[in-house]
Amino acid sequence: MNLFANHCRCSIMTVMMLRYFLLPLLLAACLNGCASPINTANTSTIQAQVTHVIDGDTIEVNIYGQSYRVRYIGIDAPEVYPDEEPYGQEAAIKNKELVEGKTVALEKDVSETDKYGRLLRYVYVNDLFVNGEMVRLGYAQAITYPPDVKHQDMLIECQREAREEGRGLWGN
């Protein structure tokens, strides 16, 4: 009888703990996590669907039904708008080939957005690091904007390779 009574007390304590402590805590955590569809407090990477390619370093994506503009971190491609710069169209076309209509992983560095409100992210299609590929193929150049420098050494190396091989922007 004593063993049964101890078991019941433990079960009642467990239920009370769940009901009055853990459930409100879990609910608060969920609500906090649901407040922003791009909450990256717990992770630096999120999946998105590319809906439109703006140019060689900017895309539009859909994240949980909401549209965002994303600026690639660490690179600068020639502009297409408002005035087209040399090699701007080629960079935009290559970016479309790499990402348009695809699911991408967006990796945050330090900054959330730039002064224009665009998300600042490193972009991946499967195992392909798109920021690096754009630089490696000569469609963009590596550019450093601290504090977002996580992959800057790799991007500089991609640019060195593109220059040595005379690719894209670095061609004759």
Give the catalytic positions in this structure. 71, 79, 118
Residue with tokens 């630096």: 44
Q: How far is CA 81 from CA 89, 101, 114, in A?
A: 10, 21, 18
Distance CA 57, CA 65 (A): 22
CA dihedral 129, 135, 141, 147 (to 10 degrees): 20
Residues 6 or more apart from 166 whose CB is under 8 A from it? 138, 172
- And the tokens for 86? 């040399």
Largest distance between two CA atoms of the chain: 91
**First CA to last CA across the chain, in angstroms?**
91
